[in-house]
Amino acid sequence: MQLELTTPALLFTAISLLISAYTSRFLTLAQLIRQLDAVYRKEPSAGVLEQMKNLSYRICLIRWMQIMGVLSFILCVFSMLMLFVDKQLGGQISFAVSLLSLMASLIILIYEVQISVDAIAYQLQDYEDRLRL
């Protein structure tokens, strides 16, 4: 199979948008941690500490999502370079690894989103329990 120079370039937009979305998630969580820190300093509680632990773990996952996304981007560029200098096999291999890196990034995203949904469900359950009393 012959890989065209433009094929890896098709991923540029998608990867850039993903990295932008990951950065947005990161900034939102960082802001939330700062707010929770202010709340905890005024009135320490185990619940706030658990939320901060959850957010810290999610930030770690987002960092890995970003790393895998950037790695995918770099490998796409390398793949284009290899194809440009007519090294078809090198271009194909680096493009395949780029796709695997992108897939890893998306798998981590699914896991991070699930943790986020679980945290929201836990929070909502707390309010539902209070309403029943």
* Domain residue limits, the chain: 6-128
Assign 133 a pLDDT band (cuts: 50, 70, 90).
Answer: low
The sign of the dihedral angle between the CA atoms of 106, 112, 118, 121 is: negative
The per-residue pLDDT for 119 is 84
Mean local confidence (pLDDT), 4-9: 86
Which tens digit of pLDDT belongs to each residue from 59-103?
A: 999 999 999 999 999 999 999 999 999 999 999 999 999 999 999
Neighbours of 21 (CB within 10 A): 13
> Please, what's the b/e burial string for 25-55 (b: 16 or more CB within 10 A of its CB; e: otherwise)?
bbeebeeebeebeeeeeeeeeeebeebbebb
Which tens digit of pLDDT belongs to each residue from 103-128?
A: 999 999 999 999 999 888 877 887 77
Which tens digit of pLDDT belongs to each residue from 12-62?
A: 889 999 999 999 999 999 999 999 999 999 999 888 898 999 999 999 999
Amino acid at site 87: K
34: closest CA among 19, 50, 60, 55? 55
- In three-state secondary structure terms, 68 is helix
